[in-house]
């Protein structure tokens, strides 16, 4: 994909006009890895249904395992969804190369990501955990970034592809 002024070429073919582009996927994909592929850690997710109404104690949503276990976290989803059932689904998260979920919090990878941000044209935003290439972008931060973009568009401003000073 080649970006030029306010026209965009998709898949080396169709050229379309745009007012704003809001990207939520990894910036290397957008620019066909021009500066190299950005590294991510993935997760293998094992799902287990337990034959009991609750598995974790009341108000415990997650359990974290920072020691030598192969898994990093267990999640009881019902605690979030408030789903009523006599069984309960637990997710076990194991770090792996499966998927591009966790941007690496290393300066050299963030510098590589910045090269992509630097060539994004005006009115191009890149948000979310993958789009910002920042692990610390959680769901509430994605919503916050959307609201910042709304403010910029409403006020006819453009501060650059990454919104939120804490993520630049």
Ligand X SMILES: Cc1cc2nc3c(=O)[nH]c(=O)nc-3n(C[C@H](O)[C@H](O)[C@H](O)COP(=O)(O)OP(=O)(O)OC[C@H]3O[C@@H](n4cnc5c(N)ncnc54)[C@H](O)[C@@H]3O)c2cc1C
Q: How many residues line the site for ligand X (CB under 6 A)?
A: 15
- Distance between CA atoms of 129 and 142, rounded to whole angstroms? 7
**Does 134 interact with ligand X (rule: CB under 6 A)?**
no
**Does 28 interact with ligand X (rule: CB under 6 A)?**
no
Which of 55, 92, 120, 137 lies at the binding interface for ligand X (CB under 6 A)? 137
Looking at the Cβ atoms of 5 and 33, the one nearer to ligand X is 33
What string marks each residue from 93 to 122 as x (binds ligand X by CB under 6 A) or -? x-------x---------------------
Q: How many CB atoms lie within 10 A of CB 70?
A: 10
Within its chain, how far is the Cα of 71 from the centroid?
21
Which of 40, 43, 133, 148 lies at the binding interface for ligand X (CB under 6 A)? 43
Which of 27, 103, 128, 161 lies at the binding interface for ligand X (CB under 6 A)? 128
**Does 138 interact with ligand X (rule: CB under 6 A)?**
yes
Q: How many CB atoms lie within 10 A of CB 126?
A: 25
Q: Residues 10, 120, 43, 83: is their CA dihedral positive or negative? A: negative
- Distance between CA atoms of 168 and 164, rounded to whole angstroms? 7
Which of 130, 148, 149, 162 lies at the binding interface for ligand X (CB under 6 A)? 130
**Does 2 interact with ligand X (rule: CB under 6 A)?**
no
- Distance between CA atoms of 32 and 68, rounded to whole angstroms? 37
**Does 25 interact with ligand X (rule: CB under 6 A)?**
yes
The residues near 54 (Cβ < 8 Å, ≥ 6 apart) are 76, 78, 88
Which positions touch ligand X (CB under 6 A)?
24-25, 29, 43, 93, 101, 128-131, 137-140, 142
């Amino acid at each position: 994909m080649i970006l030029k002024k306010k026209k965009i070429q998709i898949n080396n073919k169709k050229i379309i006009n745009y007012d704003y582009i809001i990207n939520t996927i990894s910036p290397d994909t957008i620019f066909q890895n021009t500066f190299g592929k950005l590294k991510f850690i993935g997760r293998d997710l094992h799902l287990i249904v337990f034959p009991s109404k609750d598995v974790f104690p009341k108000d415990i949503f997650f359990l974290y395992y920072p020691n030598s276990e192969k898994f990093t976290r267990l999640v009881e989803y019902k605690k979030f969804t408030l789903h009523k059932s006599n069984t309960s689904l637990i997710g076990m998260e194991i770090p792996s190369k499966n998927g591009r979920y966790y941007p690496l919090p290393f300066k050299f990878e963030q510098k590589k990501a910045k090269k992509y941000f630097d060539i994004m044209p005006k009115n191009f935003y890149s948000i979310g955990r993958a789009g910002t290439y920042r692990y610390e972008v959680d769901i509430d931060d994605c919503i916050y970034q959307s609201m910042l973009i709304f403010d910029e568009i409403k006020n006819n401003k453009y501060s650059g592809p990454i919104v939120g000073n804490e993520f630049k």
